Homo-oligomer: A and B are copies of this chain.
């Protein structure tokens, strides 16, 4: 993601023409792949050698080399959208398709992740008196995973995967608490009701769910995880992976925010786990 991000960055020092070319590339990267220096020069309103200098200036051997890097960049950003798994696929094909669709799903989630909302959630978690993770069905394991990740912090953390317990806890929330509701569809009755119940306490209700879903609307803060409508019975559950990665990001951002003193704490945690290991 470095190339396109760098090109899109307006504060990088570049000559006037270089900016024009960068804008052209960012605006339509796919078109550049099939363009010649002359074509790109024309659409950027500069001369051909300027395009070449632009490429060499970025550290590439020339325009063709730059195009190769761009093609690689785009491929990384948008992995092949795998067609559905067929009943007569070989094991190798199934493996490849599941890996690819997972990678594609991750790419899609990254694309649509709202950084501002993410920062708000990190702030809410950082200032929380206690953190509760809730999930049902497939999202139950995500909630448990989140709890494990957040055990590293000093904030009291719990996960609940039972609707009775979830409601009990949600009833007693403090405005300084933070509850995280995890749901793939964002349409599970019990989860939406839980979020609504939790919101009455005035605490932060974070949703990690499908954008625009009832659950997302019931939350005070929502992080989008694209819901790619797994209509097929064999479709792998890629969105769960995206939820886990988002929780990983939250935990990492929180750890970074705590500063150097906290790194020592993490190292101590690691050290104390050492004795459970062989060698």
Q: Is A169 an interface residue (CB 8 A)?
A: no
B72 pairs with A277, CB closer than 8 A: no
CB-defined interface of A56-81 with B at 8 Å, one 1/0 digit per residue? 00000100110111011111100110
Count the copies: 2
Q: Main SS of chain A's interface residues? A: helix
B144 pairs with A141, CB closer than 8 A: yes
A236 pairs with B260, CB closer than 8 A: no
Q: Is A276 an interface residue (CB 8 A)?
A: yes
State how many residues of chain A have any CB contact under 8 Å with chain B.
82
Query: What are 20 A-B contacts defined by CB distance under 8 Å?
Result: A34-B65, A71-B72, A71-B75, A75-B76, A76-B80, A76-B100, A87-B260, A91-B119, A94-B252, A99-B245, A103-B103, A103-B107, A137-B273, A140-B148, A145-B240, A188-B277, A234-B252, A236-B248, A236-B249, A240-B244
A contact residues vs B (CB 8 Å cutoff): 1-2, 5, 33-34, 61, 64-65, 67-69, 71-76, 79-80, 85, 87, 89, 91-92, 94-96, 98-100, 102-103, 106-107, 109-110, 113, 115, 118-119, 122, 137-138, 140-142, 144-145, 148-149, 185, 187-190, 192, 214, 233-234, 236-237, 240-241, 244-245, 248-249, 252-253, 255-256, 259-260, 263, 266-267, 270, 273, 276-279
